[in-house]
Structure 1
């Protein structure tokens, strides 16, 4: 008898019933109970995100569909807030264990796919679900991340808003889509853009190319105001490696030489001093000389 997930992540009762393991051995050092009647090989613990989703899928008896933040992460669009539960859509009522949130949403068959052996909501449906969240910033971050990763236009989510007009949060979807931009390459870039727009500053261009004629290539700015040549960069952890630091130094120098004013911000700036960011960019736009778009 085949037991889904054996011997890595599986239903304990099914494995015992199939004679693959005894109840006593299941309680031994080789396995760890991660959810009710759901066990994992000890070497997998602590579970990574994909394995957490597999565990929830096994716990659901294969009837569930992983949704929400968990589906976004599983699909390759990292954007979930820290500590977000694994959402699972089930056709029946069930008591959710810790770290799991059970939903009974209506899903069209075309809104369900597979990822790493787990049933998940498709990227479009996932984006629609997250666009209905109460936190507008988190909703825009999710739509941006999924649209960038999967290459769809955010406005496609309006089709879901029409189909499911009675669902909670649907009324806020158009506003989220009005702020979304599928060119954003990371959640902090989205948050930085929203900070500026909500402060009343003009909406910046996203991933703006600046041509470097001498090297016959383009340099891309995270955010930019092309006419006054004000560029804004988010410096994440991937910018801290020695080689990247050296490349960034050359890159910024060439942009400055081309007449650009470059403002570089980190997660600490976003977290601790958002007002300073707004003030600095506001002053840059107020005092910058107007020039033709490069």
Structure 2
């Protein structure tokens, strides 16, 4: 016996408004019996998220982050908790974070919700002004999220996270100025506060941020980010990631994603040749992620290009 098409239609209609996640009670309301739920799980059609919540989508990639958070938070924990830390940051679309290990991070002052496999509870009281909702999901505000992560991440990742939040407009320049207030009185605040001014909204990728920090630490801060090079013949403007225009030196950050395909390599070559035509005498250095693990791979050729000791 299979679940009826009418029940499936009702399931999908109700789930559509809540990230394809339903509770046991909701499934029962639309006519799905326990045997139906077990059958759909065994067939791999539905995925249990927490005790009492299920993802009923059809995507081969499985439940999205929003679905997992909703199943855990909105439908299981009620109003006692909110997404926080890296989970809130990912919901907001902030990049530059460590690889996702699948753990969901929640903030709550209550001791009725406990950490368990795949769920990390941050026992803290988040002030009313520091939490919000995003399409029905309760989470910490961008400023509070960034402040929390400044206290949790190493410097390079923390600044990359801030750059991404500013670049995408998730964190406004006004909210950026409030970060020291969000950090005040918290363990690690002194160190984290020193990283706040390092953020720059012009950085377009975490790799650019890491290269910029290496240059800064090496005493060679780039005076220009996204150095504009007009190309009047083609009616466009090319940009170089980090630039020292007075010395005609630039750096390009070659991330694996945007620059790893054969077509991208061809376009990079054409672009570099065009830049050499537009800026005679230009020295354009190119670095990848592997170079950031050995700062001298960046600083030595940069010093030579800038004719600096």
TM range (shorter): 0.7 to 0.9
Q: How many residues align?
A: 285
Q: Which of 275, 279, 285 is equivalent to 2:300?
A: 279
- TM-score normalised by the chain length of structure 2: 0.79
* Structure 1 runs of 4+ with >4 Å offset: 2-7, 16-20, 151-155
For residue 15 of structure 1, what is the aligned residue in structure 2?
26
1:75 is displaced (CA, Å) by: 1.6
Structure 2 residue 243 is the aligned partner of structure 1 residue 224: yes
Equivalent position SS for 1:43: coil
Structure 2 residue 154 is the aligned partner of structure 1 residue 130: no
Structure 2 residue 156 is the aligned partner of structure 1 residue 145: no
Q: Provide Cα deviations, 1:140-169, integer angstroms capped at 9, x if missing partner.
A: 111111111116555744424235512233
1:129 is displaced (CA, Å) by: 1.7
Cα distance between partner residues in 1 of 2:197 and 2:138: 30
Q: Provide Cα deviations, 1:111-148, integer angstroms capped at 9, x if missing partner.
A: 33332431222222222221222411111111111111
1:31 is displaced (CA, Å) by: 2.6
Unaligned runs of 5+ in 1: 289-294
Answer yes or no: is the 8 Å Cα contact 2:179–2:196 preserved in 1. Answer: no
Q: Which of 130, 134, 144 is equivalent to 1:111?
A: 130
Answer yes or no: is the 8 Å Cα contact 1:153–1:182 preserved in 2. Answer: no
Cα distance between partner residues in 2 of 1:200 and 1:10: 55
Unaligned runs of 5+ in 2: 1-10
Structure 2 residue 78 is the aligned partner of structure 1 residue 67: no
CA gap 1:245/1:47 in 2 versus in 1, 3 angstroms: same
CA gap 1:48/1:153 in 2 versus in 1, 3 angstroms: closer
Answer yes or no: is the 8 Å Cα contact 1:143–1:154 preserved in 2. Answer: no
- TM-score normalised by the chain length of structure 1: 0.83
Q: Provide Cα deviations, 1:13-69, integer angstroms capped at 9, x if missing partner.
A: x33664743333333334322233332226356333333332332332354221222
1:254 is displaced (CA, Å) by: 2.1
Q: How does 1:1-294 map to 2 (within 5 A)?
A: 8-12=20-24, 14-15=25-26, 18=29, 20-28=31-39, 29=42, 30-41=45-56, 43-44=58-59, 46-57=62-73, 58-84=75-101, 85-93=103-111, 94-150=113-169, 152=171, 156-162=175-181, 165-236=184-255, 237-257=257-277, 258=279, 259-271=281-293, 273-286=294-307
Answer yes or no: is the 8 Å Cα contact 1:136–1:176 preserved in 2. Answer: yes
**Which range moved further: 68-77 or 206-215?**
206-215
